[in-house]
Amino acid sequence: MDFFFTLAACNTVVVAKYPHRDAMNASGMIVPNESANSSSINVVDTSSNTTTTSIGSSSWGPNRVLRGFLSFSRPLSPIASSPHSTPPHTPEALPRYAAPTTLTANYDQSSTSVSITLNPISQSNGLENVRICDLESQPNSSPLRPSLLNIQAAQIYNPNFTRDSRSPTPSPMDITPIYEAESPDELALVDAAYKYGFRLLRRTLHNILISLPGYGLCEYEVLHVLPFDSNRKMMSIIVCHPDTQEKILYCKGADSAILDRLNRGVDDKTKFRIFRTQQHLNSFSKKGLRVLCMAKRVLTDTEYKDWTMKHKEAENSLSNRDHKLQESYSRIEKNLNLIGATGIEDRLQDGVPETIQALRNAGIVVWVLTGDKQETAINIAYSCALFVPNMEILKLNARTKDQAERTIQFYLRQIEQEEEVRQRAQMQGTAQGNGAEASNGARMEFSAVNDNNRRQNGPSEQRGLVVDGRTLVYILDRRANLKKPFLTLAGKCSAALCCRATPLQKSLIVRSAKDDLKVLTLAVGDGANDVSMIQTADVGVGISGVEGRQAVMASDYAIARFRHLEKLLLVHGHWCYDRLSRIILYFFYKNASFVLILLCYQLYNGFSGSSMIDQMYLMVFNLLFTSIPPILVGIYDKDAPAEVLLAQPRLYVQGREGRLYKPHSFWVNILDAVYQSIVLFFFSAVLHEDSNTGMYQFGMTVTHACLIAQSLHIAIETKSWTVILVFGLVLSFIMFYGFGVLYTMTCVACLGEPSQYGELAYALRSPLHWLTIILTATLAVLPRFVVRAVICSMSPDDITQALIDNKGSQQKDFMVSWSRSTSDSSVYRPNCTEETGDEASEPFSSLVTTTTVITTTTDEAEV
């Protein structure tokens, strides 16, 4: 009884009359609530004061999938029984807590309200002393597998329970209330209690109305609610029993928190109960279930009054209030009696193992910070491919500061010895002429995940670090001086797993990695406990889902599923870095080349500050003529297709190491701008020597040549041509000529400058003008074009090589398919079989080895 009551009452679940609807629509307008006209079921208790509970029946949510587990020593199996008997180990066989009450039911055809009479099940079956779970076992019995709660079993155990009643007058007990909870775990526990007949029907600030199986309604008075916090890792509720008037404390929380607060001075039977529960907890954890423990404590009137007085003082305190509340919680949450444990299955989303494997192949070190139990977290780490079966797991489970320090130093010395062995093996291999082979073998065993960026002291593919929350307390303590050794140890591992971590510890770990290791951090979370971690990281990603939207609201990017992180980083992240790097460098070049032309003219006017370009052209050159193409390139340009980037995660190294935007990249572009400005001005000046061209006509020619040179420059830097980009380039020239015609024809004496009437028309009719712009623009961009061509041909980078390989693979696959489709064709692919064709088209494969451990192996096929 206590176990199921804790599931139903010790939570923050809200019982709604109708499904939640936002009061504000997408346009920001307040809409009226349309649920007011929905029918309701009224339950009237005529045994005492009249109480009405309205449960909306207009729309009901889908049947919830039950994921709760109970810690039973014997499996719950349906037992045949007569209509007048109650099968054992069912909700009907539980001890009674409230006195029998009689509820009358009347059905009114003119209204949609129903009141029903509920008669309690007879208690004369001799089952008053039957407990929920009898943890006694025979001397030679072995622990049995915990039973899974499911809807079918619940319906068998409670014959009066139905979810699909076809009766035109359904009873209130046959209608599912609408539960709303912040956490899906709480919702699963309430659903578990509901399936076994303990139905939460109403919750107010001071009362809880619960329907007991075969007993009717029972209203408990809520005296205090001790909310959950990450320090205690538990929550509690104090209720007053309606029959005995006892003050009972019910607690629900992590096993590490509940087990430490149990009453140890008990008999052997209770100790055995605790021992068996711990066995079930370990079994749940190894299966990857999220475990919780339930406990209770019956308070005497004196204990409750004394605690209430001190608790009110803590609540009303103006100084150090949080600390005093924690002390108040600790005074009451002790000497507990264990009543049960649960295991909730938190299934991995689709694509999680593949996504983590792709991130590791991209050279990204993945750390998992979770609040789950260590065994649960390790099992999930294997399931999501964070750990692989052949990986060496280093565990840090220290209970003192000295023990934590000794363990860290021991692992560091062990790793140093392995590195010395590897170095000696490399030296011996080099001396024997097999240096390349030995180096490759050593790298496979000791180096980093990324094949193109393996470092001598990098993280090992065969090493994973596991640390629990208690050890993190000593590591993150500044006085312990363990943070630096811990980060050094973590840096030598390919993956790290922090268990039982609080939100504050998650935030401190991210900050330590960002500040001490000098790396860029990205935090991914889906719940309120991840908000501080997301805000601390350089980039925060929130996953929208059943955990609420706190993480999404605090993040920089929001995704719907974890598998979308692969495309967000490896595709959009790669494109974003490539576009920004090239466009920023282009803007530096573009502005410098145009301004340096004016500087070159100062050599001819005695540095008077005058310009051969009209002031209007100076103002609109960067604003109108050359602004559209770089913006379009920065938005739409792609240096590689998404399929290539996803198939080869190693290409992400270009952005991870910042290869495109280096300090020398800036100076190379500035030197290119200096060269182009010199060519554009001085070659134009030489060609116009001894001509009757005026100053503004010469400036028009140089401006036109500069526009063409910058357009050719961005064309060379463009990786993928699209219709939009071509339209942008054409639009730039249309705006140049259109502005020139309108300005020179309409603005005869604008801004106090000499008239430009006819300057553009004269320049366009001059053969010297076209000869100058073609010659100077070609000479200006020729060095960049030649350098790009030589690099792509002689020493292509990873992206270019991947595109070349992908292009060749597509052509070969096309020829192979053509040769197979026609018997008359002589085009064939030598030594090509069905198997190699499949390998070329599918360079990656995923293997599922067992039901509990999922291992993703990646094989890169040679094309």
Per-residue pLDDT, 629 = 93
**C-alpha 618: how far from chain center:** 48
Residue-wise pLDDT tens digits, 157-195: 344 443 343 334 445 555 668 888 878 888 899 999 998
CA separation for the pair 347, 660 (Å, rounded): 40
Per-residue pLDDT, 610 = 82
Check the annotation: does 637 bind a ligand.
no
560 versus 439: which is more confidently predicted? 560
Check the annotation: does 639 bind a ligand.
no
Report the pLDDT averaged over residues 118-140: 34
What is the band of 544 on the pLDDT scale with cuts at 50, 70, 90?
A: confident
Per-residue pLDDT, 419 = 87
Per-residue pLDDT, 780 = 94
Per-residue pLDDT, 270 = 85
Check the annotation: does 371 bind a ligand.
yes
Residue-wise pLDDT tens digits, 377-390: 998 899 888 998 88
Per-residue pLDDT, 428 = 77
Per-residue pLDDT, 431 = 62
Which residues, including other chains, have CB under 8 Å from residue 303's CB and lie 6 or more apart?
A: none
Per-residue pLDDT, 104 = 29
Q: Which residue has the tokens 């340096």?
A: 596
Check the annotation: does 614 bind a ligand.
no
Per-residue pLDDT, 329 = 93
DSSP secondary structure of 637-679: --SS-HHHHHH-GGGGHHHHTT-SS-HHHHHHHHHHHHHHHHH
CA separation for the pair 281, 299 (Å, rounded): 27
Give the three-state DSSP class for 175: coil
Is a pLDDT exceeding 70 seen at residue 506? yes
Q: Report the mean per-residue pLDDT for the chain.
A: 75
Check the annotation: does 859 bind a ligand.
no
Check the annotation: does 469 bind a ligand.
no
Cβ atoms of 735 and 654 within 8 Å: the answer is: no
Torsion of CA 478, 484, 485, 487, to 10 degrees: 120
Per-residue pLDDT, 250 = 95
Is a pLDDT exceeding 60 seen at residue 39? no
Is a pLDDT exceeding 50 seen at residue 622? yes
Residue type, 854: I
Check the annotation: does 195 bind a ligand.
no
Give the three-state DSSP class for 104: coil
Q: Whose CA is closest to 253, among 222, 229, 225? A: 229
Residue-wise pLDDT tens digits, 52-108: 333 333 333 333 333 333 333 333 333 333 333 333 333 333 333 333 322 223 333
Check the annotation: does 52 bind a ligand.
no
Percent of the chain with pLDDT over 90: 40
DSSP secondary structure of 814-861: HHHHHHHH-SS-----TT--HHHHHHHH--------SSS---------
Is a pLDDT exceeding 50 seen at residue 437? no
Check the annotation: does 246 bind a ligand.
no
Residue-wise pLDDT tens digits, 311-364: 999 999 888 898 999 999 999 999 999 999 999 888 888 899 999 999 999 999
What is the band of 22 on the pLDDT scale with cuts at 50, 70, 90?
A: low
Report the pLDDT averaged over residues 639-645: 92
Q: Which alpha helices (DSSP H) does 288-432 contain, by range?
A: 301-315, 321-332, 352-361, 374-383, 401-431
Angle among Cα 492, 495, 498 to the nearest 5 degrees reads 110
Residue type, 713: H
Residue-wise pLDDT tens digits, 255-265: 889 998 998 77
565 versus 39: which is more confidently predicted? 565
Is a pLDDT exceeding 60 seen at residue 447? no
CA separation for the pair 837, 694 (Å, rounded): 68
Percent of the chain with pLDDT over 70: 70
Q: Is 10 exposed, middle or buried (0-12, 13-18, 19+ CB in 10 A)?
A: buried
Which residues, including other chains, have CB under 8 Å from residue 641's CB and lie 6 or more apart?
A: 806
Per-residue pLDDT, 128 = 33
Q: Whose CA is closest to 289, among 365, 378, 217, 413? A: 378
Check the annotation: does 500 bind a ligand.
yes
Check the annotation: does 228 bind a ligand.
yes
CA separation for the pair 565, 741 (Å, rounded): 51
Report the pLDDT averaged over residues 496-500: 92
Per-residue pLDDT, 26 = 53
Check the annotation: does 252 bind a ligand.
yes
Q: Is 37 exposed, middle or buried (0-12, 13-18, 19+ CB in 10 A)?
A: exposed
